[in-house]
Structure 1
Amino acid sequence: MRRAPQDPLAAAISRPRWRRWAARLPPRWLAGGPAVRAGRGLVLLTGLLVLLTVPLLAPPAGDWLVVLGLAAADLALLAASTAVPWDRLPARTLLAFPLAQMAGLAVLGSATRTVTGAYVPLFVLFFVYVGLHLPPRTAYWLLPAALPLYLLTSEPLDVQVVVRTLVVACVWVVVAEVLAGTVRRQRAAADLLVRDARTDPLTTIGNRRDLEDRMTLLAPGDTVVVCDLDHFKQLNDTRGHAFGDQVLREFGAMLAGSLRRGDHAARFGGEEFVLLLHGSGTGPALDVVERLRQTWAERGGATTFSAGCATLDDVTTAQQALVAADAALYAAKRAGRNRTRSAEAADGWGPRVEAETPLEP
């Protein structure tokens, strides 16, 4: 089957060319997360800008030694960054990237005559990095080190340089804080959109999309349970859809409040719900469903529910277990409702549906 051509615009938005190039790098150079990768990019960008523009300043041979020494230090920093366990360190540890580059520019500005003051605009780039990748107010932590390093990079100290330093320091902080606040709001909005996209609006538990994503994480020993409210259509017809919606809300709330931590409930569609019980096995899963049945009865549920369950093994996929649990559910319906049946695995998940000990209707 030929794959449908991808929209070029969508491809360009989802995977820019620089990301395709970066994907070819060794995995250790991509380790550490986006902020660490951006820190390495900051080091590379700063070093390349200096190396490519220093020749325009015609420095003497002695100045070139300083430039090449700083380039070697950048390479050493990049290599060292691949061995640091960034995920175990505080976020402010990432200040090592801009601080190292500031220190390098300070050495360059103070040790050479031709380069002094040429690269002070790069300091704003370091605060842009802080604003984009570190928590708000981190710029204030960087400022005490940035000011003296900036003065070392600048021309000889005088009143004009001092005033300019105070102005640019305000600009640095404003840029970093505005970016940090914008990033935080965008992330909050993105999290809200993701949560809304994965939540059933009526019951406020997971929806089918959320369920499909979570099913990819199931492992042998996990159990899929499919629950269906009995005679729900009759309930809607006799008492109205508003009452039926309230029953669905109450059932979803009962599931969310009664499952173990790590287990998950989602509305599969209509009055059908799916539970993912991690590491339970068939026997304990049946006990969980029975406790849910008792809790639902104690809350005065307007109707009973039937359930089917299937436990994954080494040759069973999550989707096969879902199909088997659904078949077991309909076996429970045929057996009189208000009961649970389990599906035992056969080759390829036939499935073979076997009745467990019936629960009293």
Structure 2
Amino acid sequence: MSSPNQYFVLIVPACAALLGMAMIYCWSRLRDHRYLLWIASGYISTAIPLGIHSLMPNEHLARWTVPLSTMYLFGVWALAHGVAVRFGGRSAPRLAGTIMFITLGGLFYFSQIHDDLWLRLQILGWSLALLIALPAKSILLSSRTRPIPLAALLRASYLTTLLYAFFRALALTTLIPREIQPDLTQSGFWLLMLAANMFISIWIALAILTSTAMSIVQTLDHERSQDPLTRLLNRRAFFEQVKKRLERYGHTGWAVIICDLDHFKIVNDTWGHAAGDRALKEFGALLARTVRQDDLAARFGGEEFVLLIRSTSLHTAVLVAERLRSSAMNLHIPATAHTLTASFGVVQLNSNGDINQAIEQADRLLYEAKHAGRNKVIWKAS
């Protein structure tokens, strides 16, 4: 084997192994992204036999067929399974196990009992293609409530890998002569296959790692914008979203509702802060169920909540507040005998309305409701 070719065939599995180790490192820092560990296992499990095969002469291949093919089969399935897990799907592990068992049985026969390298290549090539195809439905047709960053790129990467696997199997069937020459692993076909493997491996790795990084950024941004207890927007995120809504839709057709739980200190003092947290969670969930797609709900702190809702009239906004007030009284707070009530201040924005002034005005109306006996809704146009 010439020196340049020898270096090249070692570069490809070395790159795959390094990509696998990089994903293991990422997984060690991001344990909830378990698909990274599967994909890393796939890279490393295929890199080892690929490197050995690339340096091994044909006359030694039969002896190592079963152990090396086992690593190939597991590695390819792990890679496909990892991508499927990324999309919230699965890759039929029982069917995969059946394919592996039948494949290894055939490889054992044609290596230890009746040595036939050409048939071994066919069996392994088509089996690898089938393993990659197992999660095709869950990957290509998956739909999730929370979209995956770069989902289209990930699907394209998987589809490219799938097509390449079947093309490689077909090429092994049509381009490799029945009587294989001793220098197969040094041939131009083998080098071309290694180059394609390296290109696809790097492409998939970059797509997976980029998608993961974007998921982390989205999660951090989501957590930075969320109240940790109620999962509603926090004050900072509320004003950011309000600005976007008003810039997009204008100032008209909006109403601000401020609400505050009545006698909330009694809940904490009588039944403990755990009961108080539960009350806040239940009320926050009520607000989340009430708001629509363009509406906003936020916890400003303590037991105070603010809503910006699409409302064509003050009357409509008041009806929403009244419905919330009535629903709050029906909330069940475990381990307490407390009936939850809330007071509301409602302001309708006009074309010249300022959101900060509207919130201040709604806040004053809220305290009027408190002084008027609580569990009331008081309103006024901005």
Superposition TM-score, scaled by structure 1 size: 0.51
> CA distance change for structure 1 residues 213 and 161 in 2, over 3 Å: closer, same or farther?
same
Q: 1:206 aligns with which of 222, 227, 233?
A: 233
Q: Does 1:307 align with 2:344?
A: yes
Distance in 2 (CA, whole Å) between partners of 1:337 and 1:237 is 19
Aligned to 1:276: 308
Q: Is the 8 A contact 1:226 1:272 kept in 2?
A: yes
- What secondary structure sits across from 1:310 in the alignment? strand
Distance in 1 (CA, whole Å) between partners of 2:372 and 2:346 is 15
Report Cα offsets for 1:64-84 as digits up to 9, x if no partner: xxxxxxxxxxxxxxxxxxxxx
Q: Does 1:187 align with 2:214?
A: yes
Distance in 1 (CA, whole Å) between partners of 2:286 and 2:356 is 25
Distance in 2 (CA, whole Å) between partners of 1:344 and 1:257 is 25
CA RMSD in angstroms, aligned pairs only: 2.9
Distance in 2 (CA, whole Å) between partners of 1:279 and 1:240 is 38
Percent identity over paired residues: 37
The AA in structure 1 aligned to 2:226 is T
Aligned to 1:317: 354
Normalized per residue, the structure richer in helix is: 2
Q: Does 1:335 align with 2:378?
A: no
Superposition TM-score, scaled by structure 2 size: 0.49
Distance in 2 (CA, whole Å) between partners of 1:260 and 1:133 is 26
- Listed as ranges, the gaps of 5+ residues in structure 2 are 1-149, 168-185, 333-337
Aligned to 2:156: 138
The AA in structure 2 aligned to 1:314 is S
The AA in structure 2 aligned to 1:268 is F
The AA in structure 2 aligned to 1:253 is A
> CA distance change for structure 1 residues 253 and 139 in 2, over 3 Å: closer, same or farther?
closer
Q: Is the 8 A contact 2:330 2:340 kept in 1?
A: no
Q: 1:178 aligns with which of 205, 217, 235?
A: 205
> CA distance change for structure 1 residues 164 and 134 in 2, over 3 Å: closer, same or farther?
farther
CA deviation after TM superposition for structure 1 residue 239, in Å: 2.6
Distance in 2 (CA, whole Å) between partners of 1:247 and 1:134 is 41
Q: 1:232 aligns with which of 256, 260, 264?
A: 264
Distance in 1 (CA, whole Å) between partners of 2:191 and 2:308 is 61
Report Cα offsets for 1:191-245 as digits up to 9, x if no partner: 2111111111111222212211121123312011000011112332233222211
CA deviation after TM superposition for structure 1 residue 248, in Å: 0.8
- What secondary structure sits across from 1:277 in the alignment? strand
> CA distance change for structure 1 residues 251 and 170 in 2, over 3 Å: closer, same or farther?
same
Distance in 1 (CA, whole Å) between partners of 2:307 and 2:157 is 46
Q: Is the 8 A contact 1:140 1:173 kept in 2?
A: no
